Structure 1
Amino acid sequence: MAKTLRNFVSHYTILLTLLFLLTLVGAGDRHFSRPLSRAKHGLKKEKLSHVHFYFHDIVSGRSPTAIRVAEAPTTQNSSTAFGAVVMIDDPLTAGPELGSKLVGKAQGIYASASQTELGFLMVLNFAFMEGKYNGSYLSVLGRNTVFSAVREMPIVGGSGLFRFARGYARAKTHKVDFNTGDAVVEYNVYVLHY
């Protein structure tokens, strides 16, 4: 009987030790990552939306919306302003006139990233403040060769009604003032989201 009791205690101790170790290993995994239900989090059906607006990049005057915040020592001698970094808070409007309905802001940076052509690295958010997209934004990360007739940049994410967004933005220069540097750019954005 004593041998049977010792075997039972030994097996029971091993079993408890294994259960304790499994609990430790499993507890770490549960806190870091776990699969979720799409439907439970409102991700039922993906939609394709088209958003159209005009981007006003104002570098001149008393209240510019685009300001150079950094440059390389050689930027002033570069035909493409290579190395210039510009911070923006540009208005987005429903029509091409600056006085038309404000639908959002383009906020972020663009930087001259090419030594051979005027090509910007665009890192910005289209933050919307109108209609059903009020409070939502789309994130852009891409290349913008500003003298191309039409430029295409990726939409890499978003928030609010644009959660899990992906798509592209097509930019077309509507008007540019070569004396001031101010520009109006028409955007057509196509985005998949939930």
Structure 2
Amino acid sequence: MRKLLLVLFLLLLSLIVVQSHENWYATQTKDNWRQSLALGEEKSTQLHFYFHDIVSGKKPTAMKIAQTSTTNQSPTLFGILMMADDPLTQGPEPTSKIVGRAQGLYGSADQEKLGLILAMSFKFTEGIYNGSTLSIFGRNPALQLEREMPIVGGTGVFRYARGVALAKTNWFNTTSGDAIVEYNITVIHY
């Protein structure tokens, strides 16, 4: 009799646990999912800044971290991988106010033309965007006048971000490899 009561008690307890779990799941999948995540109103933001990629000198902001044995023989530097912590500034001058950092990886992924793959996070340090990030992951055909790359996510003010980053080379030194790139970003976020 005790065993039967114990089995019934355990069966009842498992039904309660399963029932409470089903209710939790059901409340998360209703039409009010947006309110349950506290997303609020969808917004669109335009950003404009300059990216300074300095690979030369005593304090480079981007460094080679890997390459293949044949990278130097390739006209596109195919196989090179760079790590960056580049300043983002209000204007194109290196002395312009810093508004954030571009941190991540880029590498040459095209054997025929210069085509980079970017996996980067733009970390903002000024104003209402301080502490927020935008993530870019995509192809950057660096020799084209204007390039379009996807914004695939974000944090802080840019939570659940998606959008487009338009990049345009402002200045490039063919000897050193240093570059200043103008960015115009349109991002949709909550």
TM-score over 0.5 for the pair: yes
Among candidates 66, 79, 83, match of residue 79 of structure 2: 83
Match of 2:112, SS state, is coil
Among candidates 153, 156, 170, match of residue 157 of structure 1: 153
> 1:176 corresponds to which residue?
172
Deviates more, 1:69-78 or 1:24-33: 24-33
Distance 2:46 2:146 in 1: 17
Gaps of 5+ in 1: 1-9
Task: Calculate percent identity across the aligned residue pairs.
Answer: 50
Gaps of 5+ in 2: none
Distance 2:23 2:75 in 1: 55
Q: Which stretches of structure 1, 4 residues or more, deviate above 2 A after TM superposition?
A: 12-34, 36-42
Distance 1:184 1:26 in 2: 58
Among candidates 53, 58, 62, match of residue 57 of structure 1: 53
> 1:72 corresponds to which residue?
68
1:23 Cα deviation from its structure 2 partner: 3.5
Distance 1:173 1:187 in 2: 9
Distance 2:122 2:138 in 1: 14
> 2:96 corresponds to which residue?
100
Q: How does 1:13-52 map to 2 (within 5 A)?
A: 19-26=12-19, 35=28, 37-52=33-48
Residue identity opposite 2:147 in structure 1: R
Using the size of structure 1 for normalisation, the TM-score is: 0.86
1:158 Cα deviation from its structure 2 partner: 0.6
Distance 1:167 1:84 in 2: 28
How many correspondences in the alignment?
Answer: 185
Provide the aligned C-alpha RMSD in A.
2.6
1:65-119 residue CA offsets vs partner (Å, 9 max, x unmatched): 0100000111111111111000000000000001001000000000100000100
Match of 1:190, SS state, is strand
> 1:193 corresponds to which residue?
189
Distance 2:112 2:12 in 1: 65
Q: CA 1:49 to 1:16, structure 2 compared with 1: closer, same or farther past 3 Å?
A: same
Using the size of structure 2 for normalisation, the TM-score is: 0.88
Distance 2:50 2:10 in 1: 66
Q: How does 1:117-128 map to 2 (within 5 A)?
A: 117-128=113-124
1:21-79 residue CA offsets vs partner (Å, 9 max, x unmatched): 43354566688996174235431110000010000000000000010000011111111
Match of 2:128, SS state, is helix
Residue identity opposite 2:114 in structure 1: L
> 1:166 corresponds to which residue?
162
